[in-house]
Amino acid sequence: MRIAILGAGAWGSALAINLSSYHQINLWTRNSHHAAEMVATGINQRYLPHYVLPKTVTVSAILADALKEVDFALIVVPISGLRETLREIIVSRIKLPLLWGCKGFEPSTAKLPHQIIQEECPGRMSQCGVLSGPSFADEVARNLPTALTLASTDIEFSKQLAASLHSSKLRIYTSRDVIGVEIGGAIKNVISIAAGISDGLGFGSNARAALITRGLSEITRLGLKLGGDLKTFMGLTGIGDLILTSTGQLSRNRRVGLMLAEGKSIDEILAQLGHVAEGVHTTQSVLQLGDQLNIEMPITQAVYSILHERVSPRSAVEVLLNREQKTETY
């Protein structure tokens, strides 16, 4: 297959490297200087510097060229750039199946990726789907075993595409639950920040396990209210992705939490990271949705207070620990 991967960050480049073993890849970046640099060096020095782009990967900064004669496009730009990318696809007049790997809520609207696609491309939810799951870009680029979920309301589309992308090292499972997959992929980043704060403050493994478990409860409560399936939150894109981002050393969101525990400001942290940490921007949208739907989100509230209200990490954790005793429920 020939695949257009739209977005040349760490994740897009890792997928390009991995999938190029079996497919021809067109990798698109909006930045012409970035594209020229990758063409000249064969390396994405900005986002994935330790891996050479195979010769079966063609890099371009011209969207129409990247979309030409491909079987489908996989959009992996940050969620804030999804709407603009869709509009550019529409302008190109090239019609093709779409997958997206964007995680989070659009900052200005608190909308999920599929809602943005419904708005910008009415009637396009067939031949469309989301690709998500517990996956660090570095390990995908190294071709280490990884499992992802491809969810679409068009089940035949998801089965056919998953079969084409599936390999022994990149296992692709299918699902109908687009909303649940998106919710799991978004909110786990918020809980990951909380887990990083807990680890950074030296609270130990017991506290981290409690945060992950109660964080899954927050994800599930909100996800069910928005129409997700309970089984999804118990699977790869729910608890699987949550465990990975809350414990893995490669997790950017966990690293944000660790640095917050050191007393660094969020501006310092983001400048130091040099990459998008989705949980920082997702926290406000999640809390807003929780308030609208009257859903209790205490961990999200604590992370929000640290990021946006200048509450110290230790004080926010004390508020969490001093909440009233109650029965464990989802």
* Catalytic residue positions, numbered: 188
Query: CA-based Rg of the chain, rounded to a whole angstrom?
Result: 19
Q: What share of the chain is helix, strand, coil (3-state, %, to 5)?
A: 55, 15, 35
CA–CA gap between residue 208 and residue 205 (Å, rounded):
5
Please name which of 141, 120, 128 lies closest in space to residue 9, comparing C-alpha atoms.
Answer: 141
- Contact, 76 vs 6, CB < 8 A? yes
In sequence order, what are the beta bridge partners of 128? 98
CA–CA gap between residue 191 and residue 40 (Å, rounded):
39
For 39-70, b/e burial (b = at least 16 CB within 10 A) is eeeeebebbbeebebeeebbbbbebeebbeeb
CA–CA gap between residue 145 and residue 64 (Å, rounded):
33
CA–CA gap between residue 137 and residue 254 (Å, rounded):
15
Q: Which segments within the chain are labelled E, that is strand?
A: 2-6, 24-28, 43-44, 48-52, 57-60, 72-75, 98-100, 128-132, 146-151, 170-175
CA–CA gap between residue 196 and residue 206 (Å, rounded):
13
CA–CA gap between residue 314 and residue 140 (Å, rounded):
35
Q: Which segments within 116-273 are labelled E, that is strand?
A: 128-132, 146-151, 170-175
Query: DSSP assignment of 44-100, as one string?
Result: ETTTEEEEEPPTTEEEES-HHHHHTT-SEEEE-S-GGGHHHHHHHHHHHT----EEE
